[in-house]
Amino acid sequence: TDKITVEGIKVGYMYREKSDEKMDSGWRFFSGTEDQEYVDDLNNTMVYDVNTIANYDRAIIPYLNLPYGTELERIENSNEFQIITE
């Protein structure tokens, strides 16, 4: 979301879903501060190459090869993420 690419907030939540588009890695990145109203406004989201997001927040790089269905959240005050299990 623009919270990352415009406001410069680090990725706080990311998940990977299977995509029908060949060029889509399936990763979705959020700062974790967005509410539903913000996400529903298409002006606040954009499709980016994963490399672009990695340039904003290099901490995501070690996790990019995780499988579809993976959901991660940043461990507070760190550059590490933990898998969310429900």
Q: Determine the pLDDT at residue 22.
A: 82
pLDDT for residue 64: 97
Give tens-digit pLDDT for 43-56. Answer: 999 999 999 999 99
Q: What are the φ/ψ torsions at residue 83 (nearest 5 degrees)?
A: -75, 135
Write the pLDDT tens digit of every residue in 9-22: 999 999 999 988 88
> Average model confidence (pLDDT) for the chain?
95
How many whole angstroms separate alpha carbon 67 and alpha carbon 10? 22
